[in-house]
Amino acid sequence: MRQRVLTFMRSETILIVASILALISCFIVPPDGQYGGYVHVSTIAQLICLMLVVAGFQRIGVFRIIGASLLRRVHTARGLVLTLLSLTFISSMFITNDVALLTFVPFGLAVLTMARMEDKAIIVCALMTVAANTGSMLTPIGNAHNLYFKALTSISTGRFLEIMAPYSALSAVLLVIVTAVVFRGRKITEFEGMDSKGIERRVLAPDASRAQPDEIKVTGYGAGYGGWRAIVYTAVFLVCVLTVSDLIPLWVMCVVTVVAMLVCDRRSFLHADWGLPLTFIMFFIFIGNMKRVPEFCAIAQAFVGQHPLEVSIISSQVISNVPTSLLLSGFCDQWVPLIIGTNIGGMGTLIASMASLITYKNYARAYPHKKSRYLAMYTAVSVLFLLLLYLLALIIE
């Protein structure tokens, strides 16, 4: 029991802190009728529906199967790394940086082992993390806080893409340059004569006696691209995207998503990260209460209002970018610098974006004696990207 509590505290630290802040604020501003307006229902509903659909996709292994299919066309070390970076960069735009790293970092580590490139795992994992964080910043559904800003400001999807496109584009160019410089065109022969199912089998189920991944449990081994479930999930995902873009009513998305997931895979409800929407709700309560305290509100507005871009970047380095977005948005209405700052603020320290911890944990599990080296490598690469993206923000501003 004690171990479970400790595990929960380590994995849900932000939720615990947000809950404590919300509880303290309830003593400052006792519960009343205004509490009902604190929670941004649209954001929570969209977040939950997207989480459920992505959990469904994860459980049938669509993303890893696509990765295996692409790898069979790779013939050089440089091509292999570019493929792994492209998978995390592009997929994070649609399935969030967290899910992209949860899916492709273990996949990438296994593939590097197959290709006898374990000595490059440290830089590849660091670059994959940067790719996920910079790819996800482009779209409203790439990051949970982007979804929140989109719903809060009613900004159009096109306008959001316009704001963040220069930063994701620069990141993509930098990733290609770094890969071209660091990795040579050494020929990779380990995948020759192996089809995508062969690669998939080596990566997903190298040992039938060991616990099998969800995709094998749900669909049976070798079920292609997830069968009929993949078609249903794709349709539901499109409904979610259209709802985020304000083209479909919120209630339609909720009904379609819940019914589809109940029919296709009820266990997807257990695999969704419910701590994230709960964290949002706790921060909504805290911010709603503190906005009703004139002294606190005045100080917060003065602190954020002068330099929202810089404050959001610096704050993200300490408490990560999702809490920063929720906290600062309550006391500042300069949405563009907040959106930019909290997104590029995901670079830098390991906790600037909590998704970065996913890679660290996977790498530390595979190479426990090298975790300090990985932390140093990731910090160096991530800080470099942060500085260059900040410089771009100053130029555009």
DSSP string, 130-146: HHHHHHHTTSTTTSHHH
Note whether 103 and 132 are within 8 A (CB).
no
Q: Which of 125-134, 192-201, 243-252 has the lowest mean pLDDT?
A: 192-201
Rounded Cα–Cα distance for residues 197 and 195 (Å): 5
Q: What is the mean pLDDT of residues 307-324?
A: 89
Whole-angstrom distance, CA of residue 199 vs CA of residue 61: 13
* First-to-last C-alpha distance (Å) of the chain: 52
What pLDDT sits at residue 292? Answer: 85
Q: At what angle do helices 335-344 and 321-329 cross, to 10 degrees?
A: 170
Per-residue model confidence (pLDDT) at position 39: 86
Q: pTM for this one?
A: 0.86
| Buried/exposed code over 142-169 (b: 16+ C-beta within 10 A; e: otherwise) | bbbbbbbbbbbbebebeebeebbeebbe
Assess whether pLDDT exceeds 80 at residue 217: no
Cβ atoms of 64 and 103 within 8 Å: the answer is yes
Q: Which residues contact 231 (CB under 8 A, 6 or more apart)?
A: none
Distant-in-sequence contacts of 112-121, Cβ < 8 A, 24+ apart:
112/80, 114/190, 114/191, 114/199, 114/202, 114/203, 115/77, 115/80, 115/188, 115/190, 115/191, 116/190, 117/77, 117/80, 120/77, 120/81, 120/183, 121/363, 121/366, 121/367
3-state secondary structure of 273: coil
Q: Which of 33, 58, 32, 117 is nearest to 83 (CA)?
A: 117
Confidence label for 18 from pLDDT (cuts 50, 70 and 90): confident
- Helix axis angle for 335-344 and 157-182, nearest 10°, is 30
pLDDT tens column, 57-81: 888 877 777 777 777 777 888 888 9
Q: DSSP string of 281-302? A: HHHHHHHHHHTT-HHHHHHHHH
d(CA 49, CA 275): 14
Q: What integer is the mean pLDDT of 294-312?
A: 82
Q: Is the pLDDT of residue 363 over 70?
A: yes
What is the pLDDT of the chain when averaged over all its residues? 85
87-101, 149-163, 206-220: least confident range: 206-220
Phi-psi region of 207 (alpha: psi -120 to 50; beta: other; left: phi over 0): beta
What's the mean pLDDT in 199-207?
58
At 48 the pLDDT is 92
Q: What are phi and psi of 311, to 5 degrees?
A: -65, -40
Please state, in angstroms and rounded to a whole number, the distance separating the CA atoms of residues 392 and 397.
8
Amino acid present at 22: A
* Cβ-based neighbours of 248, under 8 Å, separated by 6 or more: 239, 242
Q: Which tops the pLDDT comparison, 195 or 351?
A: 351
Q: Tell whether the model's pLDDT for residue 184 goes beyond 70.
A: yes
- Tell me the C-alpha distance between 72 and 33, whole Å: 60
